[in-house]
A and B are shown apart, each in its own frame.
Chain A
Amino acid sequence: MIGCKRSRLLHNSRWYSISHLSVQDRIEEKRRAALVGGGQKRIDAQHKRGKLTARERIDLLMDPESFVEYDMFVEHRCADFGMEADHNKYPGDSVVTGQGRINGRLAYVFSQDFTVFGGSLSGAHAQKICKIMDQAMMVGAPVIGLNDSGGARIQEGVESLAGYADIFLRNVMASGVVPQISLIMGPCAGGAVYSPALTDFTFMVKDTSYLFITGPDVVKSVTNEDVTQEELGGARTHTAVSGVAHRAFENDVDALLNLRNFFNFLPLSNKDPAPVTECHDPSDRLVPGLDTLVPFESTKAYDMLDIIHGIVDERDFFEIMPNYAKNIVVGFARMNGRTVGIVGNQPKVASGCLDINSSVKGARFVRFCDAFNIPIITFVDVPGFLPGTAQEYGGIIRHGAKLLFAFAEATVPKITVITRKAYGGAYDVMSSKHLRGDVNYAWPSAEVAVMGAKGAVQIIFRGKENQAEAEAEYVETFANPFPAAVRGFVDDIIQPSTTRKRICRDLEVLASKKQTNPWKKHANIPL
């Protein structure tokens, strides 16, 4: 640690004197105190819960010996309820902050220390977080929050609330400037939940982390619902039901090691291009399995992940929200070493239709990629938007518009592959040529049409006989890629096995793409 090295330097200098010695002792003592946080007993209790301490987490997340800590001497300033007593002061208070390297790349991190006042947020705690966020934005490096906090420091009252708001403001200011990642590793309740909610990605640790506005006790007293912590705000709930969290990991160690891997996909800031790593997978590799993947019967399902795994580098795909709105697949991968964002309809789930949840999931992902210069590759097999009162009453119109908005405003390289169905408005939405798609391909199995043959024939030939014949004619005319190809709405019809090769080549060309939207204060996405 840099701090330690400096203290040794002072020690050996020639200005050495008795008076300095006592300061020196105090420095050493404070540092020692800071390193044990709330003390060994609380550390043991933390371990017993199956959780690591704030510092252990940082050690695991960052490259060895790369972490530089800030504000180790900061203490809380509360003078009420006996808080001013010396034994209630902990150097560094209830959070560890600083910067370090992940696989050699700079990242800022704060790690809440549950062993100090349950990781509760004091004014000082918030100030420490704000400091690193400000610097992260200035130098252009991501902010990672390791959340493990019981909530507001109640003894501090409004000071603590102000602290939250200061963090929220910075979350908002940093949004789209540097990537922000939250890893929930313990409780995160009340107002505190809004910081993770404002960040780009929220990950959780299974069984030991919770996110909720109010805990089970308050829920019981207000709505008389009986619910456990896990059911109300556990990792399963938020990754599969609410869509608040993007992914969950087995335990602290697993989560932090996975976070290191995830970080490799991200650019450091909105001024950085998508990172390029060394790649062993040939960019011109053919994927013969794709030629037989799409079934002959257009009603039969297949797994979109088979296409994605086949095309990306080394079958390495980091899926975002794998258990939520599974009818759309989103996530990060690499093509010839360069990070790309992948969006694909999933025919295996609900026929790959777009509904409220999948539209919102897709839209947020597309906007992240666009904000951080990550090219977007879209695989289309979509029968349309999901009909019905549940969807209409839920506002599928304005939610579906989010995905449309996101694809339309995105100025990063956009490559689209229509693997099978591209029906109706959903065709337009899925990064079509009309929404400034840079390269749009169709596989021979593609069908670009207003709707399926049966529905179309019932409208065009209403009341007429020979419906079956008309249907066959409609299929002949529209259930193929030609209508779109002759109009230039797809740039080429390609053999599926060549898809990887084509995309890698296009990405190289599009790396220098420059496109800007008209000046505006900000756009007004239909929220």
Chain B
Amino acid sequence: REWSYPEWGLFHTCACVCVCVFPQVHVKMADEAVCVGPAPTSKSYLNMDAIMDAIRQTGAQAVHPGYGFLSENKEFARRLAAEGVTFIGPDTHAIQAMGDKIESKLIAKAARVNTIPGFDGVVKDAEEAVKIARELGYPVMIKASAGGGGKGMRIAWSDDETREGFRFSSQEAASSFGDDRLLIEKYIDNPRHIEIQVLADKHGNALWLNERECSIQRRNQKVVEEAPSTFLDPATRRAMGEQAVSLAKAVQYSSAGTVEFLVDSKKNFYFLEMNTRLQVEHPITECITGLDLVQQMIRIAKGYKLQHKQEDIPINGWAIESRVYAEDPYKSFGLPSIGRLSQYEEPVRLSGVRVDSGIQEGSDISIYYDPMISKLVAYGASRADALKKMEAALDNYVIRGVTHNIPLLREIIVHPRFVAGDISTNFLPEVYPDGFKGHPLSAGDRRELLAAAAALHIAAQLRSQRFLGEQRSVGHWELCLELEKSVHMLAVSHSRGTYTVEVDGEKVEVSGEWNLASALLPLSINGSHKVLQCLTRSPAGDISLQYLGTTFKVRVLSVLAASLSKHMPEKLPEDTSSILRSPMPGTVVGVAVKPGDTVAVGQEICVIEAMKMQNSMTAAKTAKVKSVHCKTGETVGEGDLLVELE
């Protein structure tokens, strides 16, 4: 799954060991593929025995661990070394030193790297935590020593919050990592997350390959990244780069690595952690530096010296990466979704666009892995150019069968604050305090969308009257369209592929090829090029159109059908307060109630785990439990009934 790297097959120095569960893109690209076990990662990609077997079986000389899974596992690196197989990555020593948050901070301090003021030792109890917090000054961050990915992390603004945070974090740390050691540090409010890519060889040479700005995050996971950062000046960049290199040298680092910093509004930067592996977002660094990081890692692993000097490392142009996830952006900026990619087309024919993915049409997005579909990278001469290319790439990306986050990505990259470079790790909650709601339609957008929907409807109507070449033509239609609960009367006329649509007193000209089988709908709307996507089109006039990233539902009816529709009975929506449905696919890890129990508003009813995330389902009203439809350990789909209340 990690192998999404197109150039991989070119390196003949290593046999290609590819671990697989079922046919995917990386299996096709590899010369040889070995199955390492069934879908749960603990039985396959995290199963060291199986992977060691695969290595022996294929006679592999070197292993590139990708990112995630065993890429930062010192035990894996040790076992490879014991078998005489090269681990394409740093030494066990560096992995271990940087893997521990407390130890890494001590090393960083010794190497004169700026660190966040805080307590480096292990915090004994809640009272000690409060004492340290008072010394540092609020706010403070309490986090697990062994942690990562936001687990076991709490922010405290007062003594009480510190005590509570200490308790929660140590519990969470114990259950997630089997290690309840905590540390406390000053919390940098509204920071940016900027990281430096380093490259070091086994001969004591090290380089910094500029920065990546990764501030757009949700739940401490990156969503949009760019290189370079709009925020850094050359002096700060150099200072950060030099500190990163000095840290790498301090741990005798070799291979590619990333030093993450938090940067405050005054351009003070603090060491956060070092990732001893290739990062997901490495392509943007490759774009602006022209270096192939995986190739460099292989060279270094082979024992070669670095090819470049620091002054050889350029910043050419601008690169932006969007992480395309199979998740619903309307639910807390992204809850995982699963499904089969019934249609899938990457926008790779556009210039300046790179898509790294391991899936194809027909692939399943399952609950077993991270829900990432692909990394979509746009590269341009300037930031504005790159953003424009990203817009086009997102509009031309066809994903059907799973819910995806393109609506959110498309909104972020055109948001004035993002365009101005005014971002921080709090960007999403600040910009969308009530959650993401999709693209807000301006009056002009609305006209365009309605005109496109009307034209599409008529194009389909006209075609359905063409049997065996016979054609009857009418040239003028009156339509009634409903969009976001408002109703519009439209007049449409047609000649030679161009529809003139009168919307709210204004004329909109829509022309295109009108290929009704294609997922993409490239249109010219009043002379400007727009790519829409038609997701569904029902005989009863319901059309779903993806426009500016967001999917809108439009109902198109003839004036007659619309006028008769007012007599149709209103269907009562299901009363959702007395039923609890799974908001996403996952596994039931606990059911706290049984039929007959009385639950209060907000009381936990059950817990669903999906993609390693636990979600507590609570009661929407105080009532008696009527029936329970799920069991612990059961897998449930999105919308499955879990519990009914009376």
Contact = CB atoms under 8 A, between A and B. Distances in A.
Given A105-B467, A276-B468, A258 B539 contact: yes
Task: Determine the interface band of chain B, counting residues with CB < 8 A from chain A.
Answer: 35 or more
B472 interface: yes
A275 interface: yes
A252 interface: yes
A52 B362 contact: no
B94 to A, nearest CB: 39
A185 to B, nearest CB: 12
A442 B168 CA distance: 58
Contacts of B472: 104
A258 B464 contact: no
Nearest to B565: A253
Interface in B519-539: 539
Contacts of A60: 560-561, 564
B512 interface: no
A13 interface: no
B516 A257 contact: no
A498 interface: no
Contact of B342 (A51, A258, A261, A306): A306
Interface stretch (A4-12, A144-152, A309-317): A309-317
Interface stretch (A29-37, A286-294, A388-396): A286-294
Contacts of A473: none
A337 to B, nearest CB: 9
Interface stretch (A277-285, A402-410, A413-421): A277-285
B567 A51 contact: yes
A50 B467 contact: no
B564 A280 contact: no
Name the residue in B465, B541, B558 with the highest tally of chain A Cβ atoms < 10 Å from its Cβ. B465
B463 A278 contact: yes
Nearest to A105: B467
Given A103-B465, A306-B342, A280 B539 contact: no
Contacts of B518: 280
A295 B342 CA distance: 16
Interface in B450-468: 463-468
A51 to B, nearest CB: 7
A287 B360 CA distance: 11
A282 B515 CA distance: 11
B579 to A, nearest CB: 19
A77 interface: no
Interface in B581-608: none
B569 interface: yes
A292 B564 contact: no
A28 interface: no
Given A59-B560, A104-B465, A309-B342, A289 B568 contact: no
A208 B342 CA distance: 35
B39 to A, nearest CB: 11
Interface in A14-67: 47, 49-52, 56, 59-60, 64
A296 B569 contact: no
Nearest to A259: B539
Contact of A279 (B363, B517, B561): B517
B395 to A, nearest CB: 20
B568 A50 contact: yes
A288 B568 contact: no
A251 interface: yes
Given A60-B560, A251-B568, A292-B23, A277 B362 contact: no
B311 interface: no
Contacts of A64: 558, 560
Contacts of B7: none
B569 A207 contact: yes
Contact of B516 (A264, A292, A309, A314): A314
B571 interface: yes
Contacts of A310: 342
A251 B361 CA distance: 36
B361 A288 contact: yes
Interface in B534-590: 539-541, 557-558, 560-561, 564-565, 567-569, 571
A315 B472 CA distance: 26
Given A50-B569, A257-B540, A290-B362, A276 B517 contact: no
A508 interface: no
Contacts of B569: 49-50, 207-208, 251
Task: Determine the interface band of chain A, counting residues with CB < 8 A from chain B.
Answer: 35 or more
A254 interface: yes
Nearest to B470: A104
Contact of B22 (A49, A275, A282, A296): A296
A278 B22 CA distance: 38
Contact of B567 (A47, A281, A288): A47
A140 to B, nearest CB: 15
A315 B538 CA distance: 12
Contacts of A258: 539-540
A511 to B, nearest CB: 12
Given A56-B564, A253-B564, A260-B539, A280 B517 contact: yes
Contacts of B23: 291-292
Nearest to B518: A280
A465 B541 CA distance: 64
A141 to B, nearest CB: 14
Contacts of A250: 540, 568, 571
A303 B340 CA distance: 10
B572 to A, nearest CB: 10
Contacts of B539: 257-258, 260-262
Contacts of B22: 292, 295-296
A288 B362 CA distance: 7
Nearest to B463: A278
Contact of A289 (B341, B463, B565): B341
Contacts of B463: 277-278, 280
Contacts of A264: 464
B516 A50 contact: no
A288 B361 CA distance: 6
B516 A277 contact: no
A105 B472 CA distance: 11
A277 B564 contact: no
A257 B342 contact: no
B515 A289 contact: no
Contacts of A104: 465, 467, 470, 472
B467 A252 contact: no
A280 B342 contact: no
A277 B540 contact: no
A138 B540 CA distance: 32
B540 A281 contact: no
B362 A291 contact: yes
B567 A257 contact: no
Contacts of B363: 289, 292
Contacts of B465: 103-104
Nearest to A255: B540
B498 to A, nearest CB: 18
Interface string A168-185: 000000000000000000
Given A103-B464, A291-B362, A253 B341 contact: no
A456 to B, nearest CB: 27
Nearest to B363: A292
A208 B571 CA distance: 12
Nearest to A280: B517
Q: When A and B form their complex, which 6 residue pairs have the shortest distance between CB atoms, in order from nearest? A: A289-B362, A50-B569, A261-B539, A281-B517, A280-B517, A251-B568
Given A207-B571, A257-B541, 20 more contacts: A51-B567, A60-B560, A103-B467, A104-B465, A250-B571, A252-B564, A253-B557, A258-B539, A277-B467, A278-B463, A278-B469, A280-B463, A280-B517, A280-B518, A288-B362, A289-B342, A291-B362, A293-B362, A296-B22, A303-B340
14 contacts: A52-B564, A52-B567, A104-B465, A253-B561, A257-B539, A257-B541, A258-B540, A277-B463, A280-B463, A287-B361, A291-B23, A293-B362, A306-B342, A309-B342
Interface of B: 22-23, 340-344, 360-363, 463-470, 472, 515-518, 539-541, 557-558, 560-561, 564-565, 567-569, 571
